[in-house]
Structure 1
Amino acid sequence: MQSHALEMAHVAATARTHLGRFNMYAGIHKALRALMADTLITVGRTDPTDAADVAHASTRVGELMDLCASHVVHENNFVHPALEARCPGVCGSVARDHEGHLHHIAHLRDAAQALVGLEAAEREAALQALYLALALFVADNFQHMHVEETVHNTALWAAYNDAELIGIHDALLATIPPAEMMLVMRWMLPQLNAPERLGVMQGMRAGAPAPVFDGMLSATQGLLNQRDWTKLARGLDVPPVPGLVVG
């Protein structure tokens, strides 16, 4: 317990030290944690006697696995090369984690897809096995993301200025298909704190076509509680009244 408390104190101190630095992990990891937790809960409460319920759980796990696999590729193609260029060797353990994650992703995807072809009597055991395997995957990824947000961020902040980090991040974002981006935003925006959310939407308004921004703003309104929506609308200087969204 003491060791854990000391570790948490160190992490908190590190986070305070680097407040204001560009953090390319923060938003996507909040989205992934939320999607992972919600998917795990969905599988855990799935009714094995209800074919529609089982099909929904299968689809949700597949959706999560696709996003996790894509996330691994994005980090391998953009973040790790940047780290290795100026901090050789820092990616070793995380890169090995990524290899393991891809194996787990393939297994979980296959297990989820197999659910829909099972007889009713077989579903309960299969769902429980999937639930337990998914729980371990989520736990492993939570620890993995902690390392990235502490060890990797420390290395990135020491080796790159914010303009360089934003350039790496923007290059990564440019490779993400629209459907994947919409899924990420669906799970990211409600999890961000108010200043983070405002910053994302201000960046989108500055860089995206007006119809794209208007569509995302309307979608975001449906994802937020009234208090959070009012804060965002005030920050963007748009009417906070439902249905009155102005680009």
Structure 2
Amino acid sequence: MPKIDLYRNVHMGQRARLFTLAIDLGAADISQSGAATELAHRCLAMTQELREHADHEDTFIHQLLRERAPEAADALDAEHIRLDAAFAALDERARALPDTPVEALPDAQHALYLALSEVISAYLSHLHLEETVAMPALWEYAGDEELSVVLAAFRSSRTPEQALTDLRRMLPALPPAPRAAIVRGVVETTPDQAAGTLVAVSATLSPDQRERLYDDLGVPEVWALQGARRA
């Protein structure tokens, strides 16, 4: 049975969306109507999400880490200073972008891009520390039962809408096998709504990813689509 990893899947989703945001921000035609507002909103939404994610980790994971491996917890706490500063700088530039004069927009766009790059740099370092220091410490000093309790507590704290959002953010970044295992577990919790659930959780997958998921689950895609229409 695979080890319980409290970080891996969600972090893969975060990396993918941070990289996508950086590419989109760097390549955007800022002269287009509404482009500055949209990009600013996406940056602010990202920092809000990352702050909320940190709060979740503090609530459900890092209390246990502080009890069992305080040195690892201290290392994570120290990184929050750089992260908080990077988030604040990105937010400031994002909020200012929509009101920037047209002639200054290209420079403001690039400054926002650099601020996002600093967030990504700081955040990647933080994720690496959690995955290579914190998680191994939890494997060493906390048993599977305790980690299962942590995971269950987090999941029970999420509304159905929040849980669906979590999956939609995460699944496109995962390899086929773990993606199928996660979706299979979700579908099995609502057998009377299996088709609709499958459509809902796979909404952010690419066509190729969705086709592979349905193949791995052993169900035809037309079945799910018909089931969603009936639901």
TM-score range, shorter chain: 0.7 to 0.9
1:229 lines up with 2:210 in the alignment:
yes
Matched residue, 1:116: 98
Deviation at 1:224, TM superposition (A): 3.0
Which stretch has the larger CA shift, 129-138 or 40-49? 40-49
Kindly report which structure 2 residues correspond to 1:86-97, keeping only aligned pairs within 5 A, or say none: 86-97=68-79
Q: TM-score, normalised by structure 2?
A: 0.87
Instruction: Assess if the C-alpha contact under 8 Å between 2:25 and 2:39 holds in 1.
Output: yes
Deviation at 1:235, TM superposition (A): 3.8
Alignment partner for residue 201 of structure 1, among 183, 186, 210?
Answer: 183
Alignment partner for residue 51 of structure 1, among 24, 33, 46?
Answer: 33
Quote the Cα distance in structure 1 between the aligned partners of 2:160 and 2:117. Answer: 29
Deviation at 1:84, TM superposition (A): 1.2
Quote the Cα distance in structure 2 between the aligned partners of 1:58 and 1:177. Answer: 27
Matched residue, 1:4: none
Distance 1:148 1:208, change over 3 A: farther
Deviation at 1:231, TM superposition (A): 3.6
Q: Which amino acid aligns with 2:140?
A: A
Instruction: Assess if the C-alpha contact under 8 Å between 1:51 and 1:116 holds in 2.
Output: no
Matched residue, 1:60: 42
Q: Following TM superposition, where does structure 1 have runs of at least 4 consecutive aligned residues deviating by more than 6 angstroms?
A: none
Kindly report which structure 2 residues correspond to 1:120-135, keeping only aligned pairs within 5 A, or say none: 120-135=102-117
Kindly report which structure 2 residues correspond to 1:182-193, keeping only aligned pairs within 5 A, or say none: 182-193=164-175
Deviation at 1:32, TM superposition (A): 0.5
Alignment partner for residue 71 of structure 1, among 36, 50, 53?
Answer: 53
Distance 1:21 1:225, change over 3 A: same
For 2:31, what is the secondary structure of its paired residue?
coil
Instruction: Assess if the C-alpha contact under 8 Å between 1:43 and 1:57 holds in 2.
Output: yes
Matched residue, 2:132: 150
Instruction: Assess if the C-alpha contact under 8 Å between 1:48 and 1:120 holds in 2.
Output: no
Question: Percent identity of the aligned residues?
Answer: 26
Quote the Cα distance in structure 1 between the aligned partners of 2:163 and 2:100. Answer: 33
RMSD of equivalent CA atoms: 2.4
Deviation per CA, 1:123-158: give whole Å up to 9, x if none: 112111110111111022112111111111110111
Q: Which amino acid aligns with 1:109?
A: D
Distance 1:123 1:152, change over 3 A: same
Deviation at 1:201, TM superposition (A): 1.2
1:31 lines up with 2:13 in the alignment:
yes
Matched residue, 1:217: 198
For 1:24, what is the secondary structure of its paired residue?
coil
Give the number of equivalent residue pairs. Answer: 228
Q: TM-score, normalised by structure 1?
A: 0.82
